[in-house]
Amino acid sequence: MDDLILHEDPRSGNCYKIRLTAALLGLPLERKEYDILTGETRTPGFLANVNSNGRIPVLQIGDRLLPESNAACFYLGEGTELIPGDCFERADMLRWMFFEQYNHEPNIATLRFWLAYIGEAHLTDQQRAQIPAKRIAGQDALALMDRHLSGRAWFVGEACTLADISLYAYTHVAEAGGLRLRDHRYVCAWLDRVAALPGYVPMD
């Protein structure tokens, strides 16, 4: 495999997904850090040379660049046990990864970013006005995950897949955004299960 370089901010759960996937698979990953709070991913150089969307993570594979955290995890997971061999289960894994980016991350990760990194006092009025709705949507996402996990150990099939890694990243730090994890006991048990995987690495 070509050399792998992760362009990242270590505080980002989206970047952590890729580090965790690589760690579980024993793949070496060079890390190149940017500070999103000081705009290091919006500079002309970053936009021209790394990602025109101004976002991290970007996984660099040799000289090719791959933005979008879940796409990067899919690339690393190809041909491994982290992606199911069954066609329906593979699509069902992607179903949870799209759920993560649509229903989970924009609420749970955004609340954490706003409250734990920007700080409530520095939010715009429009951001502050969105907090109650994001809190409800975040709790709804956790509740849906909890119901799904009530009868099973992993999101898809009988073992850990990229769906679990993708959802784990921002779920395990959801309380930094003011959400309550202890209301969701199956989610809590599943978080422990992920953290016990051989090769697991914590978020920085």
Q: Are 122 and 105 in contact (CB under 8 A)?
A: no
Cβ of 63: how many Cβ atoms within 10 Å? 7
Report in angstroms how near the CB of residue 70 gets to its own copies at its nearest: 5
Per-residue x/- mask for its own copies, residues 25 to 54, rule CB under 8 A?
---------------------------xx-
| Cis peptide, bond prior to residue 28, ω within 30 of zero | no
Query: Which of 3, 30, 49, 98 is the binder for its own copies (CB under 8 A)?
Result: 98
Per-residue x/- mask for its own copies, residues 121 to 140, rule CB under 8 A?
-----x--xx--x-------
Strand partners, 60: 5, 65
By CB under 8 A, the count of residues binding its own copies is: 36
Q: Let me know if 145 is exposed, middle or buried by CB neighbors in 10 A (0-12, 13-18, 19+).
A: buried
Pairing of strands 30-33, 58-61: unpaired
Q: Which of residues 62-81 bind its own copies (CB under 8 A)?
A: 64, 66-72, 74-75, 78
Report in angstroms how near the CB of residue 124 gets to its own copies at its nearest: 10
Q: Which of residues 48 and 121 has its CB atom nearest to its own copies in the complex? A: 48
Residues 6+ apart with CB under 8 A from 17: 57, 69, 70, 72, 73, 165, 166, 168, 169
Query: Which of 144, 176, 197, 203 is the binder for its own copies (CB under 8 A)?
Result: 144
Q: Which of residues 90 and 193 has its CB atom nearest to its own copies in the complex? A: 90
Q: Are 186 and 150 in contact (CB under 8 A)?
A: yes
Q: Which of residues 64 and 182 has its CB atom nearest to its own copies in the complex? A: 64
Q: Are 8 and 2 in contact (CB under 8 A)?
A: no
Q: Are 173 and 110 in contact (CB under 8 A)?
A: no
Q: Which of residues 99 and 113 has its CB atom nearest to its own copies in the complex? A: 99
**Residue given tokens 């993708």 in the structure block:** 166
Q: Which of residues 102 and 200 has its CB atom nearest to its own copies in the complex? A: 102
| Site membership for its own copies, residue 10 (CB under 8 A) | no
Binding-site ranges for its own copies (CB under 8 A): 52-53, 61, 64, 66-72, 74-75, 78, 87-88, 90-92, 94-95, 97-99, 101-103, 105-106, 126, 129-130, 133, 144, 147-148
